[in-house]
Amino acid sequence: MTDNGRAEPPTNPFPAIPPAKPRRTGWIVGGVAALVVVLGIGIAVGVVAGQSSERPPEPAAAPGYSMDHVGNACDLVDPAPLRKWSPTPTGPPEHKELRPSKLDAGSLSCQLRYSSGNSLDTAEVILDVNFTNGTAPSFYDNWKRGNAAKTGEGKASGPITGIGSQGFWHSEVYGDLVANTRYVLCVLDGNVSVRVRLNFSRSRDVAQVHRTEVQPIAEAQARKALSGLKGN
């Protein structure tokens, strides 16, 4: 008891234990893990972004042709092979050049006629060239449809390979007193359609013209035209 007679409070037999300090190890480990996740996401996003920014390789451009450097369409024609049948020109070459405009992609044509002194024996070559822009339908498609519709006796058609991207031929033989042979070869390459027409009229008492003879002539003519129309 105290001197004034009051009872003293009982003493705590266990001293007070200070509160434990929070452990930082868990927070550090969690923070590191979160940082690794964030970095991983960042790297992945960077890789994806890098890949998406890489453009796929563009396809090779189709061959481009132009008539800009062609002054006379008949300069693209070689009439020498026709003189085997008919050596004499019946008139001056006829040619036409339609320059590109807002309404038309351009075209050109040439026509050469020959005879052998006999009005029944003639030879003719006609070259037609038509250009297209963008996704416009090609003249080649129209020519092919038109010739494919011609069937029957004396008519035949088939594919042409090795000239342009597409090609076909069509032949017709008709007539009684005079044998008329018509051979057409059309090719498509890039933005240009080329048609070569060979027409022969022969009296029945002379050697006739066969497709095996005129097809190489037409093929050479188509190659010559394409070569002369290649852009500079």
* pLDDT, averaged across the chain: 79
Please, what is the end-to-end C-alpha distance for the chain in angstroms? 123
Predicted local confidence at residue 55, as pLDDT: 54
Among residues 122, 65, 117, 127, the alpha carbon closest in space to that of 95 is found at 127
pTM of the model: 0.72
Helix (H, G, I), strand (E, B) or coil at 119: coil
Going by C-alpha positions, the residue among 192, 39, 46 that lies closest to residue 129 is 192
CA–CA separation, 196 vs 220, rounded Å? 10
pLDDT at 34: 43
Report the alpha-carbon distance of residue 45 to residue 34 in Å, rounded.
16
| Residues with pLDDT less than 70, the chain | 1-63, 231-232
CB 165 within 8 A of CB 202: no
